[in-house]
Amino acid sequence: MRWTDFIANVGVVESAGAPAVEVTGVEYDSRRVGRGDAFVAMRGGATDGNRYIEAAVAQGAAAVVTDSREAYEGLRRDDAAVGVALVEHGRRALAEASAAVMGHPERRLALSAVTGTNGKTTTAFLLEAMLRSVRRTCVLIGTIETHVGDEVRVSPHTTPESRDVLAIFADGVKAGATEAVMEMSSHALEQERVWGLPVDVAIFTNLTQDHLDYHETMEAYFAAKTRLFEGVGAPPPRVAVLNADDPYGERLVAIAGQSQVLSYGMEGWGEFRAESVQMLAGETRFRMMTPAGVVEMRSPLTGRVNVYNLLAASAAAWARGLTLDEIAVGAAAGAQVPGRFEVVPSGDTGITVVVDYAHTDDALRNLIALGRELVKERGGRVITLFGCGGDRDRTKRPRMGKAAGEGSDLVVLTSDNPRSEEPMAIIEEALAGVTATGTTCIVEEDRAGAIEIAIRSARAGDIVLLAGKGHEKVQVLRDGTVPFDDVAVAAAALKEIA
């Protein structure tokens, strides 16, 4: 793409450089810059990309787009043999430049986006399964994995930078994809990493306390989520799928006024409603009431929270043109989502061990309630292991402790990605919440040792809930990141017992 065409697609304040400059790619990481790339230098929360302009030019950058007046003037004075443009918003420019150079792949995919505190990953997986069941080729971008058709890739972030999202979309278009499903985190919405993406169907799962280390207040957290329904550099979604049983879902009805609103729930005014719910270990059945009629639903996923996820995905699939029968088939075929109520094979021990990503007090409460439901008939106990992440919202630590203590027969408190903090200091803050409930609590800082304690404390008929890490395969410590897998550690402990 010629320089003149390039800057015509980006919100440029000023520009300089020879019209003959050819831009063949876009990068925001100077280490990835190659000959012909435009390097977008933008200020971020952790670092300033403008510090790496010289390195990008040395590696062959054909152009530099910067949100720094000082950097722009410096390049122009040096009469560098590169195109240079000054922009007001670095992240918006990154999105606009990437879309233009890649041929606007976002315009060739029908995008469904999921936001909320809990349930984003499962809802996205379910919606993709429903779309794939009617032979639609999909792109999925989420916390656990990225899918490009049948190809599975590792996801480094819940919502990547716009350049990386668009590159995945471009790969999807080449693979014949017509649909995209992605999780949109509050960070990504506020930081405009999803700038310019035209969302067809937007889904809201729920909102509970999380990420207040970043957003500071629940209102600011909610405001970040609302941006999906207002449109981030694009028109509002055609359809908004909202949780009618969540108070923030009710508030979103007015905000999503330019969209067709489809609501779902189990208690209130949801148009997609679940009735006659039956929950067993490894299976959930219910009758789904919808504007198009009634359909019997069956899923290998378990629990009340997954009924909500199934309703949300079903409403979105219906908005994307699937029939109720097609939705039911897709729901039944939906596979286990890694780290989301993932049952660890336990042989003939009679103990049920579950790994789950629950890392907020609300998610922990829901997980424990499900565990209690599953052991009720056989008189089993609920043993809950959890920890709290370091360098994150400290106010939720005692709340998580209280949730664990109120619902469990035994709590094992341990470490969960302490990062730069002292693990025992984090544990003490969570312990205050457990202690207030009077429930017996065992403290073991070493997570592997804690998992073994939790499992060895169980007897036949009990359920052991290993909460917090879910699909994660590492433990993030002050001195670095080390491999760690709750599923593998639990499986080894169960093997020893057997």
> Is 468 annotated to bind ligand?
yes
Can you tell me the distance from the alpha carbon of 301 to that of 281, in angstroms, rounded to the nearest whole number?
A: 8
> Is 472 annotated to bind ligand?
yes
> Is 227 annotated to bind ligand?
no
Averaged pLDDT, 210-217: 72
Among 95, 117, 97, 79, CA closest to 38: 97
What predicted TM-score, i.e. pTM, was given to this entire model?
A: 0.85
Residue the block writes with tokens 């592997």: 448
Q: Which residues pair with 284 in a beta bridge?
A: 279, 299
Averaged pLDDT, 42-46: 82
Span 137-176, pLDDT tens digits:
999 999 899 999 999 998 877 789 999 999 999 999 999 9
State yes or no: pLDDT of 344 exceeds 70: yes
> Is 122 annotated to bind ligand?
yes
As a three-state string, the secondary structure of 132-187 is: HHCCCCEEEECCCEEEECCEEEECCCCCCCHHHHHHHHHHHHHCCCCEEEEECCHH
State yes or no: pLDDT of 213 exceeds 80: no
Q: In 3-state terms, what secondary structure has residue 241?
A: strand
Question: What's the first-to-final CA gap in the chain, in angstroms?
Answer: 64
> Is 119 annotated to bind ligand?
yes
> Is 117 annotated to bind ligand?
yes
Residue the block writes with tokens 């315009």: 107
109: left (phi over 0), alpha (psi -120 to 50) or beta: beta
Instruction: Of 21-25, 266-270, 361-365, 377-381, give the lowest mean pLDDT range.
Output: 266-270
All domains of the chain, ordered by start, with CATH? 3-101 (3.40.1390.10), 105-333 (3.40.1190.10), 342-497 (3.90.190.20)
Any residues with CB less than 8 A from the CB of 319 and at least 6 apart, and which? 200, 201, 238, 239, 241, 260, 262
Span 224-263, pLDDT tens digits:
999 999 999 999 999 999 999 999 999 999 999 999 999 9
| The pLDDT value given to residue 215 | 65
Mean pLDDT of the chain: 94
Q: 244-262 burial by CB neighbour count: b if 16+ within 10 A, else e?
A: bbbebbeebbebbeebebb
State yes or no: pLDDT of 19 exceeds 70: yes
> Is 120 annotated to bind ligand?
yes
> Is 208 annotated to bind ligand?
no
For 191-259, list the strands marked E by DSSP.
199-204, 239-243
State yes or no: pLDDT of 317 exceeds 80: yes
> Is 419 annotated to bind ligand?
yes
In the sheet with 83-87, reading across from the earlier edge strand, the strands are 12-16, 83-87, 63-66, 37-41, 25-27
> Is 121 annotated to bind ligand?
yes
> Is 191 annotated to bind ligand?
yes
